Structure 1
């Protein structure tokens, strides 16, 4: 409309101003982070790139933790974040976790802020390396991306940084800097006593690409020179906030199971999703297939955690096929009131509902525990004398060597004997539902709750079974 000013040039001008200011802010922030991350290294502090998320929200993946080495007289204060070698790992692994308890024996209990369980293994005083003092956010992300082969993210970050540095060199009106004239003054006797010589400043792109690449390279250098550290999960929490409690103590049952070097150990404490963490050193991550629900109240009074309800679902205990063992132990906790036949655990050739080959199957029938009911020319099974479908949590361990099997319930032997022959093949351990072979059909799924499943490639002794029960 005539007589009214056109608003488009005004909007475009302000947009250019905001973009340039944003680019300058990003450039300043990036350079400041590089300086903050590099400077403490000069005085002997350690830098640690955090690779996992159990310290969230206070420390996120890709943050760099700057830690001051502890000296002989320094105090280790409960509630502070420290850097130390993981005492439960057989390989060198650095952890960034919070100390939440001073134990009676002088050791410390540690935990991640996002974990609702404390770490299993106590931390000796002499194993504490340094105290976290300063956190530099995001600086380690390029290192995390490189180590996890996320090259696209790394390339996009570099291109964005170059673009931001280029834009940051422009004037607020969006124009590039002007040329300048350099006056050269010579001796009066010189024929060219006064001469103006034009000299071009480096273009905005030229002055920006090199600093941008240098800044990104500096971030990568800082991360590469830093030690990569884990804020490792001992369990997943219901939300991202911290909900550990000082004085909760370590988990004696978990420690007792790990002391016997299980093939795999699954707490089943996940709040949801697909994957079931393996707490053993073998990293055999399990997979959930439609459990009825997660985060049911757990079965162990002195070991905080949760359980799952199956009722049609199953959990495959490990991502890859393994050789069927001749000597083995199955350990788990269960609770049910069902009288129907239910599949607790077994070994099968596939992850499907119906497998071609299946044996080593622990069933529950009319409340009693049964082991040995799978097809063979001669079928022999053992059955518990009493029923356990009383709605209470029970601890069951089945051990077998060369078809001689023993069944323990709540820490004590309840039956033993010769059981059906087993085959040798590659397959998967599983719980919750399954079959006893393709031609025999499905076994009803276990209608109840399961917790703390462990598989061993040895037969546990009666003494160790009793020790596990006592550690509950």
Structure 2
């Protein structure tokens, strides 16, 4: 095989890989809309380096009792009527309002959130795919034009009928008739299907970028940027339970990607980290911070790979001790 042919095949393959990666990330940003979830483009760096400007965060609606400290919420910003706020709940106010704070900010937000203003809790982050939206809204024409031109070039090369698509046909040329001339002019069925498939994927990607609304915040300090597409499939543990056995023991079920570990959280605070992936139960530690007169909420988080995680959508209530006596127990 000649070197020119090798370079051509490699170029087409690389272009198709780039286009497939971009479209896959755009799909993960757009697909949750079908579930009623809201994709949001991060416009500021209030929680970097965990989440960067240009990431798309997907939030899902949750009941009011699931708005616990430590969770990241998407809400209508009371300080700016035309903006959304995507910050972490720092604490619950005495009147039920939510005190929020960006991880990268030195102080809490000046105005608490009313629970009715919350649109959802962040559950998924797609890295970097929203940068064109950021550039468009901030008027940065040069990087936007450069990325659009580069993607258009990759798309053109990816749709090109390369030498690897159809093997050389050693058979003699067909008889020159009007019928064979029409057949030779028609593109192969495989090439037509490939082009149509890419056209549909481009439409899906465009829809995903179009529906995402800008927010001035970020998502989770557990979710560093990653180029893996499978990270969009990370799910949290399910079917949380609790039983008393000399203390509170939390159980869970998990049916997803092979986890690296689990974490046990109380009110959004990690109390046990790096639970082995084969475990499906953990004892709530008695660290003296619980109270008989307060109900704490326990959740479990899945860690997949080195950078992606997902928290359970449900929690279990745990009680505390009285005057330093006793152990945490299931309520």
TM-score, scaled to structure 1: 0.38
CA contact (8 A) 2:75 2:85 kept: yes
1-side partners of 2:180 and 2:202: how far apart?
Answer: 42
Partner of 1:23: 15
Partner of 1:155: 145
2-side partners of 1:158 and 1:126: how far apart?
Answer: 39
Partner residue of 1:85 out of 76, 100, 121: 76
CA contact (8 A) 2:69 2:89 kept: yes
2-side partners of 1:17 and 1:198: how far apart?
Answer: 23
Equivalence map 1:438-449=2 (5 Å): none
Partner of 1:175: 163
1-side partners of 2:59 and 2:23: how far apart?
Answer: 21
Partner of 2:120: 130
Partner residue of 1:165 out of 114, 134, 155: 155
More strand by share: 1
Secondary structure of the corresponding residue to residue 128 of structure 2: coil
Partner of 1:224: 210
Partner of 1:43: 35
Q: Structure 1, unaligned stretches of length 5 or more?
A: 1-8, 182-191, 233-239, 241-245, 248-472
CA contact (8 A) 1:169 1:176 kept: no
Equivalence map 1:158-307=2 (5 Å): 158-169=148-159, 175=163, 177-178=165-166, 197-201=183-187, 218-231=204-217
Partner of 1:103: 93
> Structure 1 residues 224 and 146 mapped into 2: Cα distance closer, same or farther (>3 Å)?
same
Equivalence map 1:323-342=2 (5 Å): none
Secondary structure of the corresponding residue to residue 89 of structure 2: strand
Partner of 1:56: 48
Pick which of 142-151 and 45-54 moved more.
142-151
Question: Aligned-pair distance for 1:67?
Answer: 0.9
> Structure 1 residues 117 and 88 mapped into 2: Cα distance closer, same or farther (>3 Å)?
same
1:136-181 Cα shifts (integer Å, max 9, x gaps): 222222222222222332222222112212333568xx63745999
Secondary structure of the corresponding residue to residue 184 of structure 2: strand
Question: Aligned-pair distance for 1:126?
Answer: 2.8
2-side partners of 1:153 and 1:214: how far apart?
Answer: 26
Question: Aligned-pair distance for 1:83?
Answer: 0.3
> Structure 1 residues 220 and 178 mapped into 2: Cα distance closer, same or farther (>3 Å)?
closer
CA contact (8 A) 1:180 1:200 kept: no
CA contact (8 A) 2:73 2:89 kept: yes
2-side partners of 1:49 and 1:169: how far apart?
Answer: 29
Question: Aligned-pair distance for 1:15?
Answer: 5.4
CA contact (8 A) 1:33 1:139 kept: yes
CA contact (8 A) 2:27 2:204 kept: no
Equivalence map 1:400-439=2 (5 Å): none
- Is residue 115 from structure 1 mapped to residue 101 from structure 2 by the alignment? no
Secondary structure of the corresponding residue to residue 123 of structure 1: coil
Larger Rg over CA atoms? 1
Question: Aligned-pair distance for 1:75?
Answer: 1.1
Partner of 2:281: none
> Structure 1 residues 15 and 63 mapped into 2: Cα distance closer, same or farther (>3 Å)?
same
More helix by share: 2
Question: Aligned-pair distance for 1:102?
Answer: 2.5
Partner of 2:306: none
Secondary structure of the corresponding residue to residue 100 of structure 2: strand
Question: Aligned-pair distance for 1:96?
Answer: 0.8
CA contact (8 A) 2:90 2:100 kept: yes
Q: Structure 2, unaligned stretches of length 5 or more?
A: 170-176, 219-223, 225-266, 269-331
1-side partners of 2:211 and 2:153: how far apart?
Answer: 27
> Structure 1 residues 52 and 207 mapped into 2: Cα distance closer, same or farther (>3 Å)?
farther
2-side partners of 1:159 and 1:176: how far apart?
Answer: 25
Alignment length, in residue pairs?
213
1:408-446 Cα shifts (integer Å, max 9, x gaps): xxxxxxxxxxxxxxxxxxxxxxxxxxxxxxxxxxxxxxx
Partner of 2:300: none
CA RMSD of aligned residues (A): 4.2
> Structure 1 residues 95 and 26 mapped into 2: Cα distance closer, same or farther (>3 Å)?
same
